[in-house]
Structure 1
Amino acid sequence: MALGKQAKTLNSSQQKAVLNYLQSTRSPVRNKVIFLLSLKAGLRAKEISQLTWRMITTSSGEISDCISLTNSASKGSSGGVIWLNSDLSIALHELWSLSWQLEENDYVITSERRGNMSAQAIVNIFSNWYKQMGFEGCSSHSGRRTFITNAARKISTVGGSMRDVQMLARHSSLLMTQRYIESDVDAMKRVVQLI
């Protein structure tokens, strides 16, 4: 994917604006979960559409501290464990409490008719939100790129490395992970002054 064709990342004010906008939609809790699955867990549209409650609940039926994403729900064989951000965990608890007669095999994200949504439907939802907000160049992949970029910028503060970011992104190569990371001109200016 050429650099000019990549989805744009979302800055913190854009993230807040989207969360505020979603409160006024027909399914605010579900839509918040969709957005946070992308932004705070780095899930792709297909993964959001294929996520089941079994992948995020414990054997006792409680929301887990991680997503156990199966290969069948991911791109290729890129399933794995994704740790839950606290904001995403809260939103999932809220969605779980609003859902009635759920089975653990049920999809987390459903349409108003309770059927699961296709990956294309998730792509379309993101496209519509960003169009409504005037965010040009943003797509369903913007949250994922933002997640990977933010993880790369913060991983050294918790003793991690780029290999850990690669594992969070569930990429087979570090080179692919590096292609997702947005550069930061201000950070480059500051680091040069430290040299």
Structure 2
Amino acid sequence: MAQAKTLTARELRKVLSNLPVNRYRVRNRLMLLLTHWAGMRVGEVAALRVSDVRAADGTVKPEIQLDAAQTKGKHARTVFLNDRLRKEISAYLKTIPVCGPDRPLFMTQKRSGFTANVLCQTLNGLYKHVGMNGATSHSGRRSFITTLASKGIGVRVLASLAGHRSIATTQAYIDVNDNMKRAAVELV
């Protein structure tokens, strides 16, 4: 089975700029960005609650503490958020009604929280809408890991960020491309 397409920054911008213009645009943008800019799994994104991202004082937390029930391997982990992603979360929180901290962060049009399967279908539909062949709900995670690897981040750090217990798993995510090869030979 072929791996999900790894998107370049340009391809991600194309997807983001061509999201359907509807009342779910900001929500869909953030769900997509959590996979691309934080390397989160679809199931982890679907399991997020408002309290996972919003502090008691109303600010966006710099890290998301996922408990074991929210992760694939049933191992709690920390997801680090960069400033750009924190701004996106803040913008999204302004679009949702004031609600309790245990409310799902993302609601479907039927006013229930997403399941991993429904979120997977939603993200796949966003890629399909733009004509991004080969892109799936796993593309964001692969792109996150590959982008960081191309910038010289070590595989142990990548494994920790991805929540992998084995660096071999992380290495399988890294998509080697010509730009990475060009940069490597320039080091000689």
TM-score (norm 1): 0.89
Matched residue of 1:82: which SS? Answer: strand
Question: Are the counterparts in 2 of residues 58 and 64 from structure 1 also a CA contact under 8 Å?
Answer: yes
- Kept after mapping to 1: 8 A contact 2:150/2:180: no
Output the CA distance in 2 between the equivalents of 1:181 and 1:114.
36
Aligned residue for 2:79, secondary structure, equals strand
Q: Find 1:173's aligned residue among 166, 169, 172.
A: 166
- Conserved 8 A contact 1:55-1:70: no
Q: Unaligned 5+ residue runs, structure 1?
A: none
Distance 1:8 1:123 in 2: 15
Identity over aligned residues, as a percent? 29
Contact 1:148 1:165 in 2 (8 A): yes
Q: What is the alpha-carbon distance in structure 1 between the residues aligned to residue 166 and residue 104 of structure 2?
A: 30
Q: Partner of 1:13 in structure 2?
A: 10
Q: Secondary structure at the match of 2:18?
A: helix
Alignment of 1:22-171 (within 5 A): 22=19, 24-156=21-153, 161-171=154-164
- Partner of residue 192, structure 1: 185
How far does the alpha carbon of each residue in 1:113-141 deviate from its partner, in whole angstroms, 9 at most, with x for none?
A: 32101111111111111112111111000
1:183 paired to 2:176: yes
Secondary structure of the equivalent of 2:108?
Answer: coil
Residue 165 of structure 1 aligns to which amino acid in structure 2? Answer: L
Query: SS at 1:22's partner residue?
Result: coil
Shift >6 Å, 4+ stretches: none
**CA offsets, 1:62-113, max 9 Å, x none?**
2111111111111022431111122221111111112113111111111123
Bigger helix share: 1
C-alpha displacement of 1:17:
0.8
- Size of the aligned set, in residue pairs, is 188
TM-score (norm 2): 0.92
